[in-house]
Structure 1
Amino acid sequence: MTSPAPAAVPPQLNGSSLPRAGGTPVAPGPAADEGLARRLRALACTAPLHDLDARKANLAGEYGCYAMAEVALAAIDLVTLNMDFDTGADHEQIVARLLPRVAAQAPGRPPAEHERVARWVLENLINVGSVDRGFRAVYGTFGPDGSYVRRDYDFKLIEELPGHGGTVFLRTTDEAVNVLVGALDTDVTSAQIAAEVKLEVLISRGRLADAQLAAEQARYRTVQYAETLRKTLDATRRNVRAVDWLHQVPDMIAEALDHVADRYRHENAILTNIRKARDEAETGNDPKTAEHKRRAAELVDIVKDCIRRHTQLQSRLLEAGPLFRAEQDRQAFAPPAARSGLDLYGQLLAPVLPLPVEQAGRVTDAFFARGTGLRTPTSVRVGDLVEMLLTPPAEREHLGAEMPEPDLITTPDDSRFSEAQLASAMELLDLPADAPRRLSGLLADARRRDPELPYLVALLAVHAASPSVGSAYRQGEQTLLFAVDDGTPLDDVEFGGADLIVGTALLDAAGMAADRTEAA
């Protein structure tokens, strides 16, 4: 009796081999591995939303009645639809629009609790507590040799970006938009075309409820396409060499313009079909008819928003070429940096290595003493801290500390003319209103009184050549000194110029009194 042949041992099923029909293991293909990696990244993008429901028990209070993942999806939806090409959504506006959804989950709770939930969800989507405000997931792929390799996947859902005037606005990332539409790393153009075709078919068949969902997905893809272009232009503004403007970006712009032209044609046709479906709906009190018309009206608004976004995208696409040329000129002819960087190898390491330790130590000590930055201060000892906290405060005076007596120094009188000289000059210039005099005669009279007095008289006469009539009028002055040049040259041993006519003018006292009475 012969023993049966041993059964074939099945090949081991592990991550690096798959069974073939003949029993020979084969490594998975790159397409299959890439598909698995895409699904793993898609799963990682939803993890922060599920984590919200897991961590809501840590909040101080009873928050089990709130569905945090639903609130998070609504927040991503609101930020996506409220952001524009150049700007984003306002933080406070998003919180305000989240409040009705949060309040609907727990209508009996106070409004302050609803606001706290909305802010907590939005801050966790931004990941405020982390250093770079991002999320990280670890997934595994297979290398060319069939080995299992772990990779890090860093992503963000909502970003805070600076705006004009020191403001901060919110923008959703590609990963957040993919969470909304249920896919990841999907080609934007192909996904947009598929969404438009699906939307047109659903509308033609009258399935407006499904058509509304398809229209919203098409709008999300439009936002994602604009976000791709915005990032490309931002990278160009930072460094024009970091973006391939020779092949990649021109091809992308050409495809995007064709895409926008096709979308215009499709969206206008879709808009016509929606309006036709809305207008052909029977009037009456039938709930199904009313729901049908409401869906059609909402679809009209969504498709109009898609057309608006495509118009904005087209204008940005047409501006991309001039922006590249302007940035190329600006960055190519920008002045060099005022200070060059330090070449550690050429300026420090290479010259120091051949030196003896004694000489090299002085160089390295001097470099690291100035290159390591500020030193962290030593920590306070527990004994000193306890003594400082337990020491009672010193008694303070009710009126505070005594102020020191200031040392006052008499300012020396450095004026050139004395009070007597000023009084003498004013006496000379106190002329009758009907008897003006020449400056030469006043200087001669002043010189007979005091050798220094002519300088003061000349100064006052020159100042009177442009009298402050308005100030004297407002202050209630009765007379005003004036000086007029009639072209006569001054003949004097010390002064030159014009021989001014100096006189006294009478001001209207009655008019001044009337003005003051009216002002009172």
Structure 2
Amino acid sequence: MTASTAETVPHPNTGSSRPVAPGPAADEGLARRLKALACTAPLHDLDARKANLAGEYSTYAMAEVALAAIDLVTLTMDFDTGADHDQIVARLQPRVAAQAPGRPAEEHERVARWVLENLINVGSVDRGFRAVYGTFGADGAYVRRDYDFKLIEEVPGPGGTVYLRTTDEAVNVLVGALDTDVTSAQIAAEVKLEVLISRGRLADAQLAAEQARYRTVQYAETLRRALEATRRDVRAVDWLRAVPDMINEALDHVADRYRHENAILTNIRKARDEATEPEHKRRAAELVDIVKDCIRRHTQLQSRLLEAGPLFRAEQDRQAFATPVARAGLDLYGQLLAPLLPLPVERASRVTDAFFAHGTGLRTPPAVRVGDLIETLLTPPLEREHLGAEMPEPDLIATPEDSRFSEAQLEAALELLDLPHDAPRRLSGLLAEARRRDPELPYLVALLAVHAASPPVGTAYRQGEQRLLFAVDDGAELDDPEFGGADLIVGAALLDAAGMALDRTVENTAGKDEGHRE
């Protein structure tokens, strides 16, 4: 389908046809149906690809086995844990064996494992599926979009274990809907369940009860993902409005559903006890187990909802007051550039090669596939210009001068602060002298003096500076009409250049001795 195939109507004035784009609501509904169709595509693809297996596997209905696998994983996983891979394969084997009872058990296990691994999509990089669908934009143009989803995903567990959990898309495949509101779907399913039980239609009631249980699992998954995101970063979750509103609604929902399910359980038990037909009694007993499981899951969900607030506050305290990781900073000028500039290129290149080899990080190798390799080998080389493409002429705009202090004021302030190393002065005297020269100059002098209260001694030492301005607070109070605080002692310190040369000589000698010992 392309933009040219859109519906056309005649123009009222000219009689010509013009394209009419569908409305936003219609287009959104179409996209939802296309996504629902995409979620079932991996299941149909299993039956299309079973011919690639070595052997005769045409007798197996792979889509049925896939639905059973999704059902088993959904009902086996709990709030904190998931389903075990080998356990799901073992529980799938009886269903596979029922389709081909004459085949060996090894073949049944292989089919079950193949279906489960394809639902996980083991062969892909991100272990997900992608479908392409089209929608109409605001201008009526046809736009293709990617829809990425997963059916069964692997999540890490305690002790290095890996669990299986179904996604929302997989649950929607089971209940036959997509992106359905969890709360409204749960209420509708349980009302439908109550009506079917009251009318004695226990076969349909069992299907409605299973759908209600799937919605309960989906509701718990929404909360679990919010809590997992909170443990990683509290800023990634809206704990100001979205999550508190969801928790309050979920608590009201659980309380209402708990009363509703207990009433349903009473009616099912009554139908089970009064039933005379064995099939009727069996379905009623199965319904009792399903509704009991729903009550258990709602009770577990309620306990997690009550723990969500304290968990958020604990994670907020932990992440806000965590000790930052101490990392040693690298001074490129003092530690790399300054020592290498006097060296010859042969010796300096070995240092730079080692530095950039460790500083560029890991390089991801390209995936080697036969199709990519053939395409790369058969693609003709592109003709390139010797000097590359022509660079556009930049449109330069002069930056306006917005500095408060002029160059002359900076020179005057530096002249005031150019003190002898053996004659420090008080900040109050410097401010008074600066005020006599220029009314604005004391602000610049005060700024430079405060900056000198914590001088970068190590950086200046490594870069070979000869003198350094410093300021010391000895407890005296500043007496000035414009400034307050401490009356700093401002002075200049000479850095020991001879000491720097001696330290470098000792380091070089120690390095040579270490090399001789090796």
TM-score in same-fold range (> 0.5):
yes
CA distance in 2, matches of 1:165, 1:48: 32
Residue 35 in structure 1 maps to residue 23 in structure 2: no
Residue 196 in structure 1 maps to residue 184 in structure 2: no
Contact 2:3 2:142 in 1 (8 A): no
* Distance 1:334-1:194 versus aligned 2 partners, 3 A rule: same
What is the number of equivalent residue pairs in this alignment? 347
User: Partner of 2:319 in structure 1?
Assistant: 331
Report the CA distance between 1:216 and its aligned residue: 0.3
The 5-angstrom pairing of residues 102-141 of structure 1 reads: 102-141=96-135
Which amino acid is 1:307 matched to?
I
* Distance 1:16-1:248 versus aligned 2 partners, 3 A rule: farther
Report the CA distance between 1:147 and its aligned residue: 1.1
User: Partner of 1:404 in structure 2?
Assistant: none
Residue 153 in structure 1 maps to residue 147 in structure 2: yes
Residue 98 in structure 1 maps to residue 86 in structure 2: no
CA distance in 1, matches of 2:328, 2:25: 47
* Distance 1:230-1:26 versus aligned 2 partners, 3 A rule: same
Report the CA distance between 1:171 and its aligned residue: 0.5
Residue 309 in structure 1 maps to residue 303 in structure 2: no
CA distance in 1, matches of 2:128, 2:328: 33
Contact 1:17 1:146 in 2 (8 A): no
Residue 70 in structure 1 maps to residue 58 in structure 2: no
User: Partner of 1:465 in structure 2?
Assistant: none
SS of the aligned residue for 2:154 comes to: strand
Which amino acid is 1:313 matched to?
L
Contact 1:38 1:184 in 2 (8 A): yes
User: Partner of 1:179 in structure 2?
Assistant: 173
Which amino acid is 2:284 matched to?
A
Contact 2:81 2:157 in 1 (8 A): yes
SS of the aligned residue for 2:138 comes to: coil
Q: Structure 1: give runs of 5+ residues left out of the alignment.
A: 1-11, 283-288, 345-357, 378-520
User: Partner of 1:240 in structure 2?
Assistant: 234
CA distance in 1, matches of 2:162, 2:222: 21
CA distance in 2, matches of 1:32, 1:310: 36
The 5-angstrom pairing of residues 437-476 of structure 1 reads: none
User: Partner of 1:291 in structure 2?
Assistant: 279
Which amino acid is 2:292 matched to?
K
Report the CA distance between 1:176 and its aligned residue: 0.5
CA distance in 2, matches of 1:364, 1:98: 59
Q: Normalization by structure 1: what TM-score?
A: 0.63
Report the CA distance between 1:278 and its aligned residue: 1.4
Contact 1:134 1:155 in 2 (8 A): yes
Q: Normalization by structure 2: what TM-score?
A: 0.63
CA distance in 2, matches of 1:300, 1:186: 26
SS of the aligned residue for 1:292 comes to: helix
SS of the aligned residue for 1:86 comes to: coil
Report the CA distance between 1:218 and its aligned residue: 0.4
* Distance 1:333-1:273 versus aligned 2 partners, 3 A rule: same
CA distance in 1, matches of 2:230, 2:330: 27
SS of the aligned residue for 2:58 comes to: coil
Greater Cα radius of gyration, structure 1 or 2: 1
SS of the aligned residue for 1:89 comes to: coil
CA distance in 1, matches of 2:9, 2:331: 56
Contact 2:3 2:141 in 1 (8 A): no
CA RMSD of aligned residues (A): 2.9
CA distance in 1, matches of 2:74, 2:180: 17
Which amino acid is 1:299 matched to?
L
* Distance 1:32-1:368 versus aligned 2 partners, 3 A rule: farther
Identify which of 286, 291, 306 aligns with 1:318: 306
CA distance in 2, matches of 1:342, 1:174: 47
User: Partner of 1:457 in structure 2?
Assistant: none
> What do residues 208-244 of structure 1 show as CA deviations (whole Å, max 9, x unaligned)?
1000000000000000000010000000000100100
Which amino acid is 1:206 matched to?
G
CA distance in 2, matches of 1:19, 1:321: 57
* Distance 1:341-1:153 versus aligned 2 partners, 3 A rule: farther
> What do residues 466-498 of structure 1 show as CA deviations (whole Å, max 9, x unaligned)?
xxxxxxxxxxxxxxxxxxxxxxxxxxxxxxxxx
Identify which of 42, 54, 59 aligns with 1:60: 54
Report the CA distance between 1:373 and its aligned residue: 4.5
The 5-angstrom pairing of residues 494-509 of structure 1 reads: none
Identify which of 209, 216, 230 aligns with 2:210: 216
Report the CA distance between 1:372 and its aligned residue: 3.6
CA distance in 2, matches of 1:85, 1:313: 8
Identify which of 259, 284, 289 aligns with 2:253: 259
Which amino acid is 1:249 matched to?
V
Which amino acid is 1:183 matched to?
A
SS of the aligned residue for 2:132 comes to: strand
SS of the aligned residue for 2:124 comes to: coil
> What do residues 32-56 of structure 1 show as CA deviations (whole Å, max 9, x unaligned)?
1111111111111111111111111
